[in-house]
């Protein structure tokens, strides 16, 4: 089911919600989330993205000027040096209509040294890759979970998904653009075990990782509201790292990565003005991302808030709410009626 897309206007702060805006986790990397949509419905998706989502009720888009203006403000606060702007959404950022303009504008902000982007690349083409590279994209984290066409379609739960096209685009990145490539498969035990070594060989063969690590193999994790690959038990962290160590030895490439491999370091974090379990006044301003939720804004207008258990609360209502989560300024609260 295709969800309606709600535009985040300037009356809705870009700090506070996980599905849109900017997230600061206390490092020099800022997560930029201009859109929430995705063309794929991967069976392991941690955010239940794509046309086959069962728990989403809304998607979001943020106007270009608004998100760039807020990014500039936050960079100035954090210190305008060695900043990485990482465009990673709860969907796929390539669906953002102005993705090239966004990369260009971020590249013009003083202190920004790296612009990276996370994508499955299903709707990319050479022309977009050329434009992204020219706009200043430093690295593309390209997800590919199997080199087998049928298994790739099964994992993406999308019949039109063409992994051969994705492989050609990855080679295009390394051979024809100035953008670095990091190949980022999700390892799903029992489904793509045989593909992981093949993906490593492929990444090394095409020259991924000229400046950064060539591979970022991700552990399949079951999230409370994400999709679960049926009948699959995730690796334990210990088992996952043991398997990566063996592959490191086999292929002579580092696969167990640290933030420092990407130049990520601690940096002062935007203060969290609201304590956990505190009561706040909010105004409901839009539909929630997931079923049962609404978006609200604090009475001071300084944060967005996700209201849960808010089905019966109309847009425009002013209510009291209790904060149950405030980590990294991502505020979740339930209404006090």
The full set of domain ranges for the chain reads 5-262, 279-336
Q: For 78-128, what is each residue's pLDDT tens digit? A: 999 999 999 999 999 999 999 999 999 999 999 999 999 999 999 999 999
State the Cα–Cα distance between residues 288 and 335, nearest whole angstrom.
Answer: 14
User: Considering the domain 5-262 in this protein, what is its CATH number?
Assistant: 3.20.20.70
H helical segments located in 118-236: 126-135, 149-156, 163-176, 195-205
pLDDT band at residue 1, thresholds of 50, 70 and 90?
low
pTM over the 0.85 mark: yes
Q: What is the pLDDT of residue 179?
A: 98
Same fold, 5-262 and 279-336: no
Which of 234, 184, 190 minimizes the C-alpha distance to 209? 184
Q: For 126-152, what is each residue's pLDDT tens digit? A: 999 999 999 999 999 999 999 999 999
DSSP state of 59: E
CATH number for 279-336: choose from 3.30.465.10, 3.20.190.10, 2.40.50.140, 2.170.190.11.
2.40.50.140
DSSP state of 232: P
Q: What percent of the chain is modeled with pLDDT above 70?
A: 100
Q: What percent of the chain is modeled with pLDDT above 90?
A: 96
Structure token digits, residue 246: 């063996």
Contact between residue 158 and residue 122 where contact means Cβ atoms under 8 Å apart: yes
Phi-psi category of residue 14: left, alpha or beta, with phi > 0 → left and psi -120 to 50 → alpha = alpha
State the Cα–Cα distance between residues 240 and 234, nearest whole angstrom.
Answer: 9
Q: For 24-82, what is each residue's pLDDT tens digit? A: 999 999 999 999 999 999 999 999 999 999 999 999 999 999 999 999 999 999 999 99
Helix (H) or strand (E) holding 183, with range, is strand 180-183
Classify each residue of 26-46 as buried b or exposed e, where b means 16 or more C-beta atoms within 10 Å of its C-beta: ebbbbbbbbbbbbbbbbbbbb
Q: What is the pLDDT of residue 124?
A: 97
């Amino acid at each position: 089911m295709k969800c309606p897309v709600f535009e985040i206007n300037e009356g809705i702060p870009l700090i506070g919600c996980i599905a849109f805006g900017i997230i600061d986790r206390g490092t020099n990397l800022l997560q930029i989330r201009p859109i929430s949509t995705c063309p794929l419905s991967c069976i392991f998706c941690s955010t239940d993205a794509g046309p086959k989502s069962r728990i989403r009720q809304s998607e979001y888009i943020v106007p270009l000027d608004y998100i760039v203006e807020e990014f500039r403000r936050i960079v100035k606060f954090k210190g305008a040096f060695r900043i990485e702007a990482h465009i990673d959404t709860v969907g796929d950022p390539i669906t953002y209509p102005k993705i090239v303009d966004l990369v260009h504008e971020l590249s013009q902000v003083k202190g920004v040294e790296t612009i990276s982007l996370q994508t499955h690349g299903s709707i990319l083409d050479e022309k977009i890759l050329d434009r992204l590279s020219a706009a200043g994209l430093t690295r593309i984290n390209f997800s590919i979970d199997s080199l087998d066409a049928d298994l790739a379609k099964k994992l993406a739960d999308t019949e039109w998904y063409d992994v051969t096209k994705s492989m050609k685009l990855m080679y295009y990145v390394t051979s024809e653009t100035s953008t670095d490539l990091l190949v980022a498969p999700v390892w799903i035990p029992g489904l793509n075990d045989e593909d992981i070594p093949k993906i490593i060989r492929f990444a090394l063969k095409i020259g991924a990782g000229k400046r950064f690590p060539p591979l970022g193999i991700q552990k399949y994790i079951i999230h409370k509201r994400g999709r679960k690959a049926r009948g699959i038990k995730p690796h334990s962290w210990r088992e996952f790292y043991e398997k990566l160590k063996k592959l490191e030895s086999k292929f002579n490439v580092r696969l167990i990565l640290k933030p420092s491999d990407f130049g990520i370091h601690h940096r002062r974090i935007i203060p969290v003005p609201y304590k956990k379990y505190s009561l706040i006044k909010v105004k409901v301003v839009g539909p929630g991302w997931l079923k049962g939720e609404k978006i609200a804004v604090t009475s001071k207008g300084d944060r967005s808030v996700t209201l849960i258990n808010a089905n019966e609360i109309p847009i425009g209502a002013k209510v009291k709410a209790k904060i149950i989560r405030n980590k990294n300024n991502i505020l979740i609260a339930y209404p006090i009626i």
